Amino acid sequence: MQIVNSQISIEKTSHSRIKEQDINNTPFGKVFSDHMLVATYANNSWQEVKITPYGNISIRPSLSVLHYGQAVFEGLKAYKNYQGKPVLFRLEANYKRINNSAFRLCMPSIPKEIFIDGLKELIRLDTDWIPTKSDSALYIRPIYFATDESVGLKPANSYKFIILSSPTGTFYSAPVKLIVTDKYVRASEGGTGAAKCAGNYAGSFLADKEAKEQGYDNVLWLDGKEKKYIEECGTMNVAFVINDVLITPKLTGSILGGITRDSALTLFRDMGVKVEERLISIDEVAKAYEAGNISEAFGMGTAATIAHISVINYQGKDMILPPVDERKYASQVLQKLEDIKTGKVTDPYGWICQL
Ligand SMILES: *Cc1c(COP(=O)(O)O)cnc(C)c1O
């Protein structure tokens, strides 16, 4: 991959908006920091990388992503550690994943100089936007999409890669209530479920909406073939503690390999917990519930980190799981992750990257 111009040009904003914001108390994803990074791919190479004030981009109605959805994205967080220094969590893993997603959608890979170096440069410029309150963070959203001005049905020749960021106050996640659906599927083997592609989310909205209409927060997804094996919950990976064994669906090809999932599994194993990555059917969970053997269930993802699951509705019946304060596994891992991110304990995994 040739980078015609690997230099990043920087245009700083002349009036920072930060004073107008209470960055420790903004709702998720509504307020954006001062700068963004914009990289352009055209004529078989990356052309231009610039950091500019956050603002409009101009598009025409023929923009190919609007027609065929050739778009992928990422989500990661920057934190302030206990010394007030900015850190990023598992940036390399996001870098790998966006290029795997891009490969699945026939998009050129993004060079490290743009994703890693560019992202660091951008966040360094906006470090004041990283909230300091515990549990709060600067949510970083890289997006990558097709920009041909053409409705021709083929992978595009030109693309934009943009990084924006958004401070998020404490992401308190109340325990979530899930409903199993066999009416909709999120993804099937061979499809795009393992890629972080924008269309996967659009495809899940209706199921999510109907779950909410029935009084639940989100859907517990089953596999697309047999509608039997558990895949994910909402837009998070999912795990269960049954008889003190941590069980999570194995990555079959239709499940998104979450970085929070990977981090949590690593910590559980190192804490001596028995971890099983395998197929787990909804009937197995229902049986374990009947027998009183299921002590925890939780979702894992960057936005909430860990979201306890309080209720799972299956075939019209609510399985009500034990109260959160009786759960030891998920809470312990959540604490450990926070301690690593804030530098309270040393990071033996190389997950933390200083800015
Ligand atoms: C992003 C995402 C996750 C969680 O991944 P993290 O890297 O932990 O944030 C899980 N499921 C889906 C469908 C996702 O898009």
21: CATH? 3.30.470.10
Residue 260 alpha carbon, nearest atom of ligand 1: 8
Q: Has residue 108 got a pLDDT over 70? A: yes
219: CATH? 3.20.10.10
Binding site membership of 165 for ligand 1 (Cβ less than 6 Å)? no
> Considering the domain boundaries, does residue 61 fall inside one?
yes
pLDDT at 170: 67
- Mean pLDDT throughout 231-252? 97
Binding site membership of 256 for ligand 1 (Cβ less than 6 Å)? yes
Is the CB of residue 122 less than 8 Å from the CB of residue 165? yes
Binding site membership of 75 for ligand 1 (Cβ less than 6 Å)? yes
Is the CB of residue 290 less than 8 Å from the CB of residue 319? no
Binding site membership of 302 for ligand 1 (Cβ less than 6 Å)? yes
**pLDDT tens-digit profile of 191-216?**
999 999 999 999 999 999 999 999 99
The sign of the CA dihedral 283, 310, 271, 86 is: positive
Give the long-range contacts of residues 268-274, CB within 8 A, separation 24 or more: 268/329, 268/333, 271/332, 271/333, 271/336, 273/244, 273/245, 273/246, 273/329, 274/244, 274/245, 274/246
Kindly state the DSSP code that residue 96 receives in the 8-state scheme: H
Residue at 153: amino acid letter: L
Instruction: Give, in degrees to the nearest 5, the angle at Cα 42 between 37 and 43.
Output: 150
Is the CB of residue 345 less than 8 Å from the CB of residue 271? no
**pLDDT tens-digit profile of 42-95?**
999 999 999 999 999 999 999 999 999 999 999 999 999 999 999 999 999 999
Is the CB of residue 330 less than 8 Å from the CB of residue 261? no
192 and 288, same domain (yes or no): yes
- Mean pLDDT throughout 203-231? 97
Model-level pTM? 0.95
212 and 331, same domain (yes or no): yes
Residue where a domain terminates, one of 168, 198, 224: 168
Residue 171's pLDDT band (boundaries 50, 70, 90)? low
Q: Has residue 325 got a pLDDT over 80? A: yes
Ligand 1 centre and the CA of 77: distance in Å? 13
pLDDT at 73: 98
pLDDT at 172: 60
- How many domains in the chain? 2
> Considering the domain boundaries, does residue 96 fall inside one?
yes
267 and 335, same domain (yes or no): yes
pLDDT at 6: 58
> Considering the domain boundaries, does residue 350 fall inside one?
no
Q: Has residue 169 got a pLDDT over 80? A: no
Query: Quick one: how far is CA 287 from the chain centroid?
Result: 31
> Considering the domain boundaries, does residue 79 fall inside one?
yes
- Domain extent at residue 292: 176-342
